[in-house]
Homo-oligomer: A and B are copies of this chain.
Amino acid sequence: MVTSADRSGEAPVRAKRADARRNERKLLDAAASVFVDSGVDAPIREIAASAGVGMGTIYRHFPTRADLVVAVYRHQVEACAEAGPALQDGAESPFTALREWVDLFVDFLVTKHGLAHAMGSDSSGFDTLHAYFLDRLVPVCERLLDAAVDAGEIRPGTRAYELMRGIGNLCIGSDSDPDYDPRRMVELLLRGLRRPVSS
C-alpha cells in the first residue's frame, strides 16, 4: 500500500520553499492587522494588498477564509483552551472556574470584530472555523461543566456544545452598540445554569 518514499521515519516531502514561508508570515501579519481595522470579513483583496502579495498566493496558503482566521487566532484559542485545566485547579469552586473561563472566552470574542458572528455561521464557507473552535474548546468547556455538575453547583442536562454556541451567539454585534453588553447576558445565562443553593 505504501511506496518506497516513506521507508525512514523522516518526512519524505521536500521542505517548503523560502519565499513561501516568507509570504505565509507576511500574510499572517497583514491579516492580523487588517482584521483589527476591518473585521474578519475584510475583502480578500485588501489583505493580499496589505501583505504585498497577489490573490493567488493567499488562496494557496489559506484555501478558505476560515483557514486564515484560524491561523491568525490559533495562539489565542490555544491559550484559552489551556487556561481551562489551570482555572479548574486554581479556582475556589468548579462553578467559579467555569465562570472565569467563560469570561476569558467572551473577552476573546468581543475584542475581535465579527469573529463571534463568523464562528456561529456554519455556512458561508466558515465551516472550518466553526469546526476548529468547537473541536478545540468544547472538550475544555465540557470538563468544567461536568466538574460543576459533580460538585452540585449546577443542574445537569446542559451540553457544552450548546452552551458555547449560546455564549458565542450572545457576543454577536457587541461592536458599535453601546447599549448591548454581552457580558451581562452571558452572566444571566450562567446564572440560569445554577442549581438553587440548598444551604
A residues contacting B by CB (< 8 A) are 117, 120-123, 158-159, 161-163, 165-166, 169-170, 172-173, 176-177, 179-182, 184-185, 187-193, 196-197
A196 touches B196 (CB 8 A): yes
Q: Which residues of B are found within 8 Å of A181, using beta-carbon distances?
A: 162
Total identical chains = 2
A122 touches B173 (CB 8 A): yes
Q: Can you list 12 A-B pairs, Cβ within 8 angstroms, ordered by A?
A: A122-B173, A122-B176, A158-B188, A162-B181, A166-B185, A169-B173, A169-B185, A185-B189, A187-B192, A188-B192, A192-B193, A196-B197
B165 touches A180 (CB 8 A): yes
Q: Write the nearest CB–CB distance from A114 to chain B, whole angstroms.
A: 10
